[in-house]
């Protein structure tokens, strides 16, 4: 297997990934059902230079997929049209590109912890209740959030009284904006958090106000899980379906990008650098620690998260080997919550076992998230470090999160550019947003005159007499 340049883009918001369908290195399909005129306008835009940057990217091993209306996509995301398809020159309006970064969100202060936890546990993609028990979701969320808040607060207190996620995600958004500008693709970048401010709804509101004409949705989770990207995309799907502007907005959703060459190389760089700090770099075990999910997600709901995680680690190790780094490595899962079975092996148990087996040097690599957060700063740096040292490990190191590492940010900007041409609108109507507004006005006018006509007819002598006859 080799790292590809490309990311995976969903054809539909409700795509149900299964691991078998995810094995191809790079999968690019369009998001929505129908060609939008703006999508076509990309090809005829007078400002062709910018667009050609997006269109010209290609991969060494292109994989082609088709969308529901028969358009073909190369794995670089470049959209080609079936023979005979015509391109319209009618739309020359200026493109306004938006990038929406999906992230989890975290409490800004200790007072935010319980409401943040409530939002998290009220998500049916986090606590998956059988349909007939869904009415219990909110009361249960209230109960669990209140019970868990004291422990969580302790954790957040120990890392400075709140989550660093908002600040770091804002910095990443700015960095991606600059990287896109440097590649001559100016864009507005929005942060859309799932469980705390700025919420997805706030980002969507701003996108509408800014009159964005093309949107790329980029989750800040390298691997797809029902509980992370899946949950945010479900929320977006509901919003897009119910909104006239959004349903006509061409959108591309990148659903996972762990296999991108830029990401794999950036992770390998960080690991290689951190290994140098050990007294004997060759001896240190590379310990990948991923955020867990309940086993039922993978086994019953078909969450591709575990497969993607293993694939991701394979690619990073392959990259390291190509650089002559041949250290042992292992993967374990951290941060389990509640009484159900989570993905195994568990990080805390493996650390103890490794210590008992005589491993002396260990480099922890957080792998499911690209910013520092409570689980790196508190769980790994404090709890797991202490446990490892108690268990006999002598030399402990931890790879920092990617945050705004330039090679990583540049790669995300490339992912956005590659996704742009495949953006499509959900709407099956050919009307533009302006026409859609006219539609609304037209509908109101028809309603008014229709009612007026009905009123006159009802008062006409014939109708009145017919009415009298039928009543009497
Ligand atoms: C890819 C990353 C993540 C997956 C998968 C994930 C699943 C998942 N998480 C919980 C429960 C909690 N997660 C919490 C915090 C949290 N989770 C992630 C990432 C993933 N979660 C991050 C980055 C964070 C930290 C945010 C921050 O504030 O820095 C928390 C709150 C903290 C705590 O009390 O431990 C909970 C609870 C479940 C149940 C789940 C899968 C079903
Ligand atoms: Fe989590």
Residues 385 and 290 in one domain: yes
Residues 365 and 285 in one domain: yes
DSSP secondary structure code for residue 260 in this structure: B
Average pLDDT over every residue of 371-378: 97
Where is the domain boundary, 381, 398, 415? Answer: 398
Percent of the chain with pLDDT over 90: 69
Place of tokens 């940010």: 409
Measured from the alpha carbon of residue 163, the closest ligand is 1
Rounded distance, CA 57 to CA 277, Å? Answer: 38
User: 291 C-alpha vs ligand 2 centroid, how far in Å?
Assistant: 7
- The reported pLDDT for the residue numbered 148 is 97
Residues 461 and 353 in one domain: no
What ipTM does the predicted assembly reach? 0.94
Average pLDDT over every residue of 276-303: 98
pLDDT at 465 over 80: no
pLDDT at 37 over 70: no
Question: 155 versus 456: which is more confidently predicted?
Answer: 155
Asked whether residue 172 is assigned to any structural domain, the reply reads no
235 close to ligand 1 (CB < 6 Angstrom): no
Rounded distance, CA 228 to CA 368, Å? Answer: 10
- The reported pLDDT for the residue numbered 8 is 66
pLDDT in tens, 92-130: 468 999 999 999 999 999 999 999 999 999 999 999 999
- Lowest-confidence region among 12-16, 144-148, 205-209, 409-413: 12-16
Asked whether residue 15 is assigned to any structural domain, the reply reads no
pLDDT at 69 over 60: no
Place of tokens 């014939």: 462
Question: Residue 307 sits in which domain range?
Answer: 261-398
- Lowest-confidence region among 133-142, 263-272, 423-432: 423-432
- The reported pLDDT for the residue numbered 445 is 53
What pTM was computed for the model? 0.78
pLDDT in tens, 149-174: 999 999 999 999 999 999 999 999 99
Average pLDDT over every residue of 44-51: 30
Q: Pairing relation of β-strands 251-256 and 214-219?
A: parallel
374 close to ligand 1 (CB < 6 Angstrom): yes
Measured from the alpha carbon of residue 295, the closest ligand is 1
Residues 387 and 443 in one domain: no
- The reported pLDDT for the residue numbered 297 is 97
pLDDT in tens, 209-226: 999 999 999 999 999 999
pLDDT in tens, 395-407: 999 999 999 999 9
From the list 407, 426, 361, 351, the residue with the least C-alpha distance to 383 is: 351
Asked whether residue 168 is assigned to any structural domain, the reply reads no
Taking the CA of residue 335 as reference, the ligand 1 atom at the shortest distance is 35
Asked whether residue 451 is assigned to any structural domain, the reply reads yes
Taking the CA of residue 374 as reference, the ligand 1 atom at the shortest distance is 29
CATH number of the domain to which 295 belongs? 3.40.50.1400
pLDDT confidence tier of residue 457, bands split at 50, 70 and 90: very low
Residues 389 and 265 in one domain: yes
pLDDT confidence tier of residue 426, bands split at 50, 70 and 90: confident
Residues 304 and 365 in one domain: yes
165 close to ligand 1 (CB < 6 Angstrom): yes
- Lowest-confidence region among 69-83, 146-160, 202-216, 251-265: 69-83
Please tell me the total count of domains within the chain: 2
User: 113 C-alpha vs ligand 1 centroid, how far in Å?
Assistant: 13
pLDDT in tens, 355-365: 999 999 999 99
Residues 266 and 394 in one domain: yes
Residues 340 and 460 in one domain: no
- Lowest-confidence region among 21-35, 157-171, 265-279, 397-411: 21-35
User: 28 C-alpha vs ligand 1 centroid, how far in Å?
Assistant: 28
pLDDT in tens, 330-346: 999 999 998 899 999 99
Query: Mutation test of ligand 1: which of 120, 143, 165, 309 has the most ligand atoms closer than 8 Å to its C-beta?
Result: 120
Residues 445 and 394 in one domain: no
- The reported pLDDT for the residue numbered 54 is 32
User: 105 C-alpha vs ligand 1 centroid, how far in Å?
Assistant: 10
Question: 175 versus 36: which is more confidently predicted?
Answer: 175
Residues 382 and 446 in one domain: no
Cis bond before residue 364 (omega within 30° of 0): no
Residues 279 and 367 in one domain: yes
Measured from the alpha carbon of residue 231, the closest ligand is 1
Residues 380 and 289 in one domain: yes
Where is the domain boundary, 382, 398, 414? Answer: 398
Taking the CA of residue 292 as reference, the ligand 1 atom at the shortest distance is 5
Asked whether residue 342 is assigned to any structural domain, the reply reads yes
Rounded distance, CA 186 to CA 50, Å? Answer: 9
Rounded distance, CA 109 to CA 116, Å? Answer: 10
Q: What is the four-CA torsion angle of 235, 411, 329, 317, rounded to 10 degrees?
A: 130
Token pair for 48: 């062709």
Burial label for 199, CB within 10 Å (0-12, 13-18, 19+), is: middle
Where is the domain boundary, 366, 398, 430? Answer: 398
Asked whether residue 236 is assigned to any structural domain, the reply reads no
369 close to ligand 1 (CB < 6 Angstrom): yes
Rounded distance, CA 236 to CA 58, Å? Answer: 29
Asked whether residue 387 is assigned to any structural domain, the reply reads yes
pLDDT in tens, 428-451: 554 444 444 454 555 455 555 545
Radius of gyration of the chain (CA): 26
- The reported pLDDT for the residue numbered 442 is 52
Asked whether residue 393 is assigned to any structural domain, the reply reads yes
Hey, which bits of 281-325 come out as E strands?
285-291
User: 336 C-alpha vs ligand 2 centroid, how far in Å?
Assistant: 8
pLDDT at 453 over 60: no
The count of C-alpha atoms lying within 13 angstroms of the C-alpha of 62, restricted to the half-sphere facing its C-beta, is 14
Average pLDDT over every residue of 67-96: 36
The closest residue, in CA terms, to atom 3 on ligand 1 is 291
């Amino acid at each position: 297997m080799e790292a590809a340049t490309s990311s995976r883009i969903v054809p539909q918001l409700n795509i149900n990934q299964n691991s078998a369908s995810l094995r191809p290195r790079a999968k690019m399909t369009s998001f929505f059902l129908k060609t939008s005129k703006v999508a076509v306008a990309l090809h005829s835009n007078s400002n062709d230079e910018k667009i050609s940057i997006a269109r010209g990217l290609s991969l060494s091993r292109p994989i082609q997929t088709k969308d529901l209306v028969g358009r073909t996509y190369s794995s670089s995301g470049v959209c080609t049209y079936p023979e005979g398809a015509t391109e319209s020159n009618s739309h020359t309006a200026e493109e306004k590109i938006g990038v929406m970064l999906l992230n989890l969100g975290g409490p800004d202060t200790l007072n935010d912890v319980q409401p943040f936890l409530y939002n998290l546990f009220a998500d049916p993609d986090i606590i998956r209740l059988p349909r007939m028990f869904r009415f219990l979701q909110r009361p249960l969320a209230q109960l669990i959030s209140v019970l868990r808040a004291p422990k969580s607060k302790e954790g957040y207190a120990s890392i400075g009284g709140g989550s660093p996620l908002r600040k770091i995600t804002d910095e990443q958004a700015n960095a991606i904006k600059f990287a896109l500008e440097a590649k001559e693709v100016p864009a507005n970048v929005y942060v859309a958090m799932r469980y705390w401010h700025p919420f997805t709804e706030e980002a969507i509101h701003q996108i509408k106000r800014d009159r964005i004409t093309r949107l790329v949705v980029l989750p800040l989770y390298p691997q797809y899980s029902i509980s992370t990207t899946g949950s945010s995309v479900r929320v977006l799907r509901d919003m897009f379906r119910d909104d006239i502007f959004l349903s006509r907005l061409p959108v591309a959703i990148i659903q996972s990008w762990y296999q991108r060459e830029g990401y794999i190389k950036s992770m390998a760089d960080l690991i290689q650098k951190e290994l140098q700090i050990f007294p004997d770099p060759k001896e240190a075990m590379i310990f990948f620690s991923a955020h867990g999910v309940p086993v039922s997600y993978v086994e019953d709901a078909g969450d591709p998260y575990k497969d993607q995680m293993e694939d991701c680690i394979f690619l990073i190790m392959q990259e390291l080997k190509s650089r002559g780094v041949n250290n042992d490595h292992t993967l374990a899962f951290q941060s389990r919550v509640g009484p159900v079975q989570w993905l195994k092996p568990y990080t805390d148990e493996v650390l103890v076992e490794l210590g008992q087996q005589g491993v002396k040097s260990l480099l922890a690599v957080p792998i499911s998230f690209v910013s520092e957060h409570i689980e790196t700063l508190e769980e790994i740096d404090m709890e797991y470090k202490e446990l490892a040292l108690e268990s006999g490990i002598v030399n402990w190191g931890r790879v920092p999160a990617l945050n705004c590492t330039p090679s990583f940010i540049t790669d995300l900007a490339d992912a956005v550019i590659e996704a742009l041409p495949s953006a499509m609108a959900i709407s099956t109507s050919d009307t533009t947003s302006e026409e859609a507004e006219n539609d609304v006005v037209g509908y109101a006018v028809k309603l008014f005159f229709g009612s007026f006509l009905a009123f006159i007819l009802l008062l006409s002598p014939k109708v009145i007499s017919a009415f009298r006859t039928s009543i009497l």
